[in-house]
Amino acid sequence: MAQLNAGMTREAAFDLLNEHNKDPFHIEHAETVEQTMRYFAREYDPENEEFWGIVGLLHDLDWEEHDDDPMNHTIYAAKDIEAAGGSAELIRAIQTHTSDFNAELPKPELMMEKILFATEELTGLIGAAVVMRPSKSVMDFNVKSLKKKFKDKRFAAGVSRDVIRSGAEMLGWELDELFARTIEAMQSFAPDRDTFTSI
């Protein structure tokens, strides 16, 4: 795989995230998606792990400030990322995860973009489900429990099941495989502690 350049360091990306997000939940979601992306990067594109991580960290940069305008989600972010020195490839990768909202945005093509599309909403669903557990830990969470929550449309109703299904399809994975691998990703960076806060 070619070396991808984000145009900014992880530290600069984190500062940018904090500039536009004040809600601890949004910061936490960004870090969860960052670590999930890094986990998959180590398997599929290890030399670009940093890039994958920054894509995850900044994927919802503009959501807190513009959640009333989902059509333009990531379009606002593009200007802020560009102004901070972020590369065109970083912006493109981030914008692919909202191509279901806005047909003018690029569709996921790279493995990294497909992983972001498939796992971003799913990490939110897993996080919400884990909070309900007595342990509040992802370490004892499993696919069977996740499937129950996935089928219950009233649970974490803001999480799009269609996006998760489309993401699995893009990757050529069964839903169960996507569920299992995303749980494993989250377990890899959240061992034995309460990582999740309620929505």
Residue type, 44: Y
> pLDDT of 75-115, one tens digit each?
999 999 999 999 999 999 999 999 988 999 999 999 999 99
**Which alpha helices (H) appear in the chain, and where do they start and end?**
10-20, 24-44, 49-58, 63-66, 75-83, 88-95, 111-131, 143-151, 161-171, 175-189
12 vs 14: CA distance, rounded Å: 5
- For residue 80, what are the CA distances in angstroms to 7, 15, 20, 38, 48? 13, 12, 9, 23, 22
- pLDDT < 70: residue spans in the chain: 1, 191-199
Q: What is the pLDDT of residue 124?
A: 94
Structure token pair of residue 111: 């493995």
Of the candidates 131, 133, 128, 125, the residue with the CA atom closest to the CA atom of residue 182: 125
Residue type, 101: F
Residues 6 or more apart in contact with residue 6 via CB below 8 angstroms: 13, 50, 51, 54, 55, 86, 87, 89, 90
Q: What is the pLDDT of residue 191?
A: 56
Q: What is the pLDDT of residue 190?
A: 75
SS3 (DSSP) at 109: coil
Note if the pTM is more than 0.85: yes
Residue type, 188: S
Q: What is the pLDDT of residue 120?
A: 96
Q: What is the pLDDT of residue 33?
A: 96
